[in-house]
Chain A
């Protein structure tokens, strides 16, 4: 655990020193602007607008960070040859990978927590205070983090095996496909044939189901998220990340670091 923690801390420190968290300034400006604008033009839908805008921005910025930093987690270390000295220490390759994963997740948690604080401030400004029902926003933020953890795991897997550009393309493709898995499962056989529909249905179970994590609409309207969905999504993300990281470790363990 010490080794994983050391790699994770260094990954976080890299993100901070590379000024990755500067995006928070952009988010803060967005929230302040939105809160002032919404306060002037909307009547009774302040919560819907602020929560929808805030959660979408948190998700989008988090996604950009997860993909663009994630694809470089391993490939950057190999390109810059910083990995040689590190793997010559008594650290296993899977420990390095898990440490990298944990470091980026920690960076995303800090980033998301700061943005969430900004969202709550904007919400408090337009509603002149917060209510207990607003806690649902926290659940939505938690789901965004679960979604981002799967994206980071996928980015890390691609980072172990291919170039950064291809990794970005693969991640984007999987994210888009994973956002439409329900549609893939309900394709009409009369439109595309039985075999294709069956293949698409099977494929939909292999793809990460990002639709499960999208609760912005209900939360914006103040609808409570059931505990069973929280548990289901938590387990789903944990299992999916574990499997992807195990595959990444298997790929990376035999990789020649030329």
Chain B
């Protein structure tokens, strides 16, 4: 099934996309700048970034829907201009929209015709996919009557209809309620268990933390960091967190208690790494019962917000110096 059995599933090298604008198209806006990335076979890779970061641009470049200004990209060892390679790739566009005069079953059957399946095979696959995405009973309703979430499910079904080894999903959780998000997460995990390579873009960070082997954070068209969700935020570990309990008679004893945050009958105290032992000693002397001590790792969200803030500060600085 693989187009190329060796090497990464996705590989980009200095991939850049600029869009001309202005009356004579003399000005250029850079949507993606020098993206160099490797997604290994069998991994779930999350592409994170705020709106306008270049996530969809990257995915469209990979799918050959737009063409790079410079750089190159390869999927399953083949250049993105190789349309035959699409036989091995599933793609869910952002906010998918399909022919609203067709039913979900007809749309899936239409797309299945591009994969040389027999009519019988097509029918079976379509029914299987409708069941998988929870549209079994709505399969014969025209798409013009579908909600956004239902269209998203149709989009997911058409992406995995042909059982591709590489699945690229652009904002797969967009427009879904919590139940729908959970179902999509389950499908992604099922695909992962089946050994598929999955690249998906999202700005729902808990989903990325939960699903991804690795994430790449794209801000302002530039890749700001790549790594496992735990590692990538661990780079900026920020001290220790001590969780403790006090009886009513003990409270107010130690000076550190003023800095602690009360949560129900417990207290949470954050201290720098070097002050941890001193803090523990003080708390013990105050009669506190230490419940846990853990390293403070910023969440993926905090890391993400830190990068976005840095990018905005840089953009403002450039704007000011430009004046």
Which positions in A face B, CB cutoff 8 Å? 2-3, 6, 10, 13-14, 17-18, 80-82, 84-92, 254, 256-258
Tell whether, in the assembled complex, residue A17 and residue B111 are in contact, meaning their CB atoms are under 8 Å apart. no
Q: Is B114 an interface residue (CB 8 A)?
A: yes
Interface of B is mostly: mixed
Whole-angstrom CA separation of A256 from B67 in the bound complex: 6
Tell whether, in the assembled complex, residue B86 and residue A256 are in contact, meaning their CB atoms are under 8 Å apart. no
Tell whether, in the assembled complex, residue A84 and residue B65 are in contact, meaning their CB atoms are under 8 Å apart. yes
Nearest A residue to B57 via CB reads A258
Nearest B residue to A5 via CB reads B113
Q: Kindly identify which residue among A3, A14, A80, A85 contacts B155, using a CB–CB cutoff of 8 Å.
A: A85
Whole-angstrom CA separation of A258 from B60 in the bound complex: 8
Tell whether, in the assembled complex, residue B99 and residue A10 are in contact, meaning their CB atoms are under 8 Å apart. yes
Tell whether, in the assembled complex, residue B97 and residue A91 are in contact, meaning their CB atoms are under 8 Å apart. no
Whole-angstrom CA separation of A89 from B64 in the bound complex: 11
Nearest B residue to A10 via CB reads B110
12 more contacts with CB within 8 A, not counting A6-B114, A90-B84, are: A14-B101, A80-B97, A81-B95, A82-B97, A84-B63, A85-B155, A86-B111, A90-B86, A90-B115, A256-B65, A257-B60, A258-B66
B87-102 interface with A by 8 A CB criterion? 87, 89, 91-93, 95-99, 101-102
Nearest A residue to B64 via CB reads A87
Q: Kindly identify which residue among A13, A82, A88, A258 contacts B86, using a CB–CB cutoff of 8 Å.
A: A88
Whole-angstrom CA separation of A30 from B66 in the bound complex: 48
Tell whether, in the assembled complex, residue B114 and residue A91 are in contact, meaning their CB atoms are under 8 Å apart. yes
Tell whether, in the assembled complex, residue A13 and residue B93 are in contact, meaning their CB atoms are under 8 Å apart. no
Q: Which B residues are in CB contact (< 8 Å) with A82?
A: 97-99
Q: Kindly identify which residue among B84, B93, B115 contacts A85, using a CB–CB cutoff of 8 Å.
A: B93
Q: Which B residues are in CB contact (< 8 Å) with A257?
A: 60, 65-66
Tell whether, in the assembled complex, residue A88 and residue B89 are in contact, meaning their CB atoms are under 8 Å apart. yes
Whole-angstrom CA separation of A2 from B60 in the bound complex: 25
- Count A-B pairs with CB separation below 8 Å: 77
Q: Which A residues are in CB contact (< 8 Å) with B115?
A: 89-90
Q: Is B318 an interface residue (CB 8 A)?
A: no
Tell whether, in the assembled complex, residue B87 and residue A90 are in contact, meaning their CB atoms are under 8 Å apart. yes
CB 8 Å contact bits of B26-68 with A (1 = contact, 0 = none): 0000000000000000000000000000000000100111110
Q: Kindly identify which residue among B65, B66, B95, B102 contacts A88, using a CB–CB cutoff of 8 Å.
A: B65
Between-chain CB contacts (< 8 Å), 14 pairs? A6-B110, A6-B114, A10-B102, A14-B99, A14-B101, A17-B102, A81-B93, A88-B89, A89-B111, A90-B84, A90-B115, A92-B83, A254-B67, A257-B60
Q: How far is the CB of B105 from chain A (nearest CB, A)?
A: 13
Whole-angstrom CA separation of A95 from B159 in the bound complex: 20
Q: Which B residues are in CB contact (< 8 Å) with A92?
A: 83
Whole-angstrom CA separation of A17 from B143 in the bound complex: 13
Given A90-B83, A91-B83, A91-B114, are A13 and B102 neighbors across the interface (CB < 8 Å)? yes
Given A13-B101, A85-B98, are A6 and B113 neighbors across the interface (CB < 8 Å)? yes
Whole-angstrom CA separation of A91 from B113 in the bound complex: 10
Given A6-B114, A89-B115, are A81 and B97 neighbors across the interface (CB < 8 Å)? yes
Tell whether, in the assembled complex, residue B93 and residue A89 are in contact, meaning their CB atoms are under 8 Å apart. no
Q: Which A residues are in CB contact (< 8 Å) with B60?
A: 84, 257-258
Q: Is B116 an interface residue (CB 8 A)?
A: yes
Given A256-B66, A256-B67, are A89 and B102 neighbors across the interface (CB < 8 Å)? no
Tell whether, in the assembled complex, residue A88 and residue B63 are in contact, meaning their CB atoms are under 8 Å apart. yes
Whole-angstrom CA separation of A196 from B137 in the bound complex: 68
Whole-angstrom CA separation of A81 from B155 in the bound complex: 12
Q: Is B158 an interface residue (CB 8 A)?
A: yes
Nearest B residue to A93 via CB reads B83
Q: How far is the CB of B323 from chain A (nearest CB, A)?
A: 30
Whole-angstrom CA separation of A254 from B65 in the bound complex: 9
Tell whether, in the assembled complex, residue B66 and residue A85 are in contact, meaning their CB atoms are under 8 Å apart. no
Q: Kindly identify which residue among A18, A85, A89 contacts B101, using a CB–CB cutoff of 8 Å.
A: A18
Q: How far is the CB of B107 from chain A (nearest CB, A)?
A: 9
Q: How far is the CB of A224 from chain B (nearest CB, A)?
A: 43
Tell whether, in the assembled complex, residue B93 and residue A3 are in contact, meaning their CB atoms are under 8 Å apart. no
Whole-angstrom CA separation of A82 from B99 in the bound complex: 7
Q: Which B residues are in CB contact (< 8 Å) with A10?
A: 99, 102, 110
Nearest B residue to A6 via CB reads B113
Whole-angstrom CA separation of A191 from B34 in the bound complex: 61
Whole-angstrom CA separation of A257 from B66 in the bound complex: 6
Tell whether, in the assembled complex, residue A88 and residue B91 are in contact, meaning their CB atoms are under 8 Å apart. yes
Tell whether, in the assembled complex, residue A3 and residue B98 are in contact, meaning their CB atoms are under 8 Å apart. no
Q: How far is the CB of B291 from chain A (nearest CB, A)?
A: 52
Q: Which A residues are in CB contact (< 8 Å) with B116?
A: 2
Q: How far is the CB of B6 from chain A (nearest CB, A)?
A: 22
Whole-angstrom CA separation of A92 from B85 in the bound complex: 11
Whole-angstrom CA separation of A14 from B97 in the bound complex: 15
Q: Which A residues are in CB contact (< 8 Å) with B95?
A: 81
Whole-angstrom CA separation of A85 from B65 in the bound complex: 10
Q: Which of A14, A86, A89 has the most chain B CB within a 10 Å cutoff?
A: A89
Whole-angstrom CA separation of A2 from B114 in the bound complex: 7
Q: Which B residues are in CB contact (< 8 Å) with A256?
A: 19, 65-67
Whole-angstrom CA separation of A17 from B159 in the bound complex: 25
Nearest A residue to B61 via CB reads A256
